[in-house]
Structure 1
Amino acid sequence: MKPMKKTKLLEKLRYLPLIFMGIFFVYFAFNFRELSVNDILNYTPSNYFLAGVIMVSFFAIKSISVVIPLTLLYISSSIIFSWYWAIIVNLIGLFVSMTIPYYIGKFSGKDVVDKLMSKYPKINKVNDIKVKNQWAFVFIVKILGFIPNDVSSIALGSLNTDYKAFIISSVLAKTPMMLAKTLIGANINQPGSKGFKVAILISILVFIFTVVIYWKNKDINK
C-alpha cells in the first residue's frame, strides 16, 4: 500500500469510534428511551461482585450511548448495594463513564478540532483558557453541566486536555451530586431519615457552589 493511501485510510479509521458511538446513540434512543430502575435491577444478578461488574458495565454503555441518565445508575446502585458500597461502585462507574468518551475524543476528534481552529480562529480562545489552567477549566465545564457529560468528555479529549487533570477534576466536580443522589436512592423510603436530609443538604450546597462558580468565571462561561 502506498504511503499516501495508507495515511488516508488511517485518517478515515480515526472516525470509527465516533461513528460507532453515533450508532449506539440512535439504537438506545429508539429502544431504551424509557429505561427504568426496575429494568436495570432485572439485569443485575444476586451475587454482589457480579452485580458490581454489571453496574460498571452500564456506566460504560452509558458513556457511548449518551441517552442513559447518570441519576438512573446512581439510584440503581443504591438499591442493589448498601449505601457505602453503592458510592464505591458509582465512583468507579464515573471514572469509566468519563474515561471512554475522553479517549474517543482524543483519538477521533483532534483532527476535527484542528481544522475548526484553523478555519475559525475564535475557537482558539477556548483552547487558550484551557491551557492557562486545565484543572479549573475541566472542573468548571463539568460542574456547570451545560454540556452533556459524555459530550464534554469527548470535547475535552479532542482538545488534548491532560488526562490526569481531566479525570481528577471531572470526578471531583461530579462526586458531590453523585453522593447526594446515591443517598437519596438509599433512603427513598425514609424521607425523614438522616441520610435523606444529608443528601438534600449536599444538593443545596452543590447548587449554591455552582452558582458562585458560574458568576466568578464569566470568561470561561462565555
Structure 2
Amino acid sequence: MRKHRPWRFCVAGCVLGGGLLGLAIVLGLHSDISLQAILTDPQQNPFLTAGLLLLFYMLKSLTIFFPLIILEMAAGYLFPAPMALVINFLGIWIALTIPYWIGRALGLRQISKLTRKYPKLQAILEKQSSHSVFLCFFLRVISCLPGDLVTMYLGATHTPFFQNLLGGALGILPGMILATFMGRSIQDPSSPAFWISAALSVALAVLSTALYYAYLKRQKGREDHI
C-alpha cells in the first residue's frame, strides 16, 4: 500500500492544479477583465491574477529553459509582498512536484539522455550514489543548473518525494525571496530596495557557482587519490 501513496499525492496535486486552471478559465470567461487590466490593476481581481500566475508556474514546470526568476519577480510586481511570497511558495511546490513525477514516469534511461546535454549537471549526477535532503538542496541552490531537469532526475532515481520537496524548497527559497522583493521594487529601479535585492541576487548566483566549482574540484581530488 505504501508504494501507491506518493501517486495519490501526485493525483491530489494534479487535481489542485487543474482546479486552479479551471477556476482561472471560468473567471476569465465570465469577466470583462483584460490581460492589460490584470497587469495594471491586479487587485481588481486578485484570485484570477493569482490563478493565472500559478498556471504559468505549471506551464514552466513542463519546460527546461524558462527562468523561474521571471515568475517570482512578476508575483512581487503584481501583489503586496506577503501575498507575493505565498503565491511564489505555492509556485515552488508546483515546480518541485510536476517535473518530479514526469521523471518518475519517464524513467532514468530517458532522463539520462536529457542530462547528457548539460555537462555541468551530468558531472555532478554521475558522482552521486546517495540521495538525501542535502543533495536535493545542493542541486537546487546551484543556480547554473537547470532546475526542472534536476527535479526530473530526482524523480527518475526514485528519491523520496518529501526529500525532494523539502531540500528543493530550501534551495530555491533564498533566491525566491530576493526575486520577490526585486519585482516589488522594480517600479522604482533607482530605489535602495531594488539595488539591494539585485546585488544580493547576483551575490547568491556567484556563491552558488563557486560552490559548484568547489564541489567539482573536491571530487576531482578524491579521484586523484584513488
Short-chain TM bin: 0.5 to 0.7
Task: State, as a whole percentage, how many aligned pairs show the same letter.
Answer: 23
Contact kept in structure 2, 1:113 and 1:159, CA below 8 Å:
no
CA–CA distance in structure 1, aligned partners of residues 106 and 218 of structure 2: 25
Q: Does 1:75 align with 2:65?
A: no
TM-score w.r.t. length of structure 1: 0.65
Per-residue CA deviations over 1:126-170 (Å, capped at 9, x if unaligned) read: 477341x52222222212234311111111110111111111111
Taking the aligned partners of 1:136 and 1:195, their CA distance within structure 2 comes to: 31
Corresponding residue for residue 82 of structure 2: 84
1:13-52 aligned within 5 A: 41=39, 46-52=44-50
What residue in structure 2 maps to residue 190 of structure 1?
Answer: 188
Report the AA paired with residue 94 of structure 1: I
**Equivalent residue, structure 2, for 1:165:** 163
Aligned residue among 96, 101, 104 for 2:102: 104
The total of aligned residue pairs comes to: 176
Cα-Cα RMSD: 3.3
Structure 2 unpaired stretches of 5+: 1-34, 113-121, 221-226
Shift of 1:111: 5.7
- Deviation by residue 1:99-145 (Cα, 9 ceiling, x = unmatched): 1010110122146579xxxxxxxx9x9477341x5222222221223
Please report the TM-score for the alignment, with normalisation by the length of structure 2.
0.64
1:179 aligned counterpart, secondary structure: helix
Compared CA separation, residues 215 and 151, structure 1 to 2 (3 A): closer
Give unmatched runs, 5+ long, in structure 1: 1-36, 115-122
| Poorly superposed stretches of 4+, deviation over 6 Å | 219-222
Match of 1:64, SS?
A: coil
Moved more, 64-73 or 82-91: 64-73
Match of 2:60 in 1: 62
**Closer, same or farther: CA 60–220 of 1 in aligned 2, 3 Å:** farther
Distance (Å, rounded) in 1 between the aligned partners of 2:209 and 2:69: 21
Q: Partner residue of 2:128?
A: 129
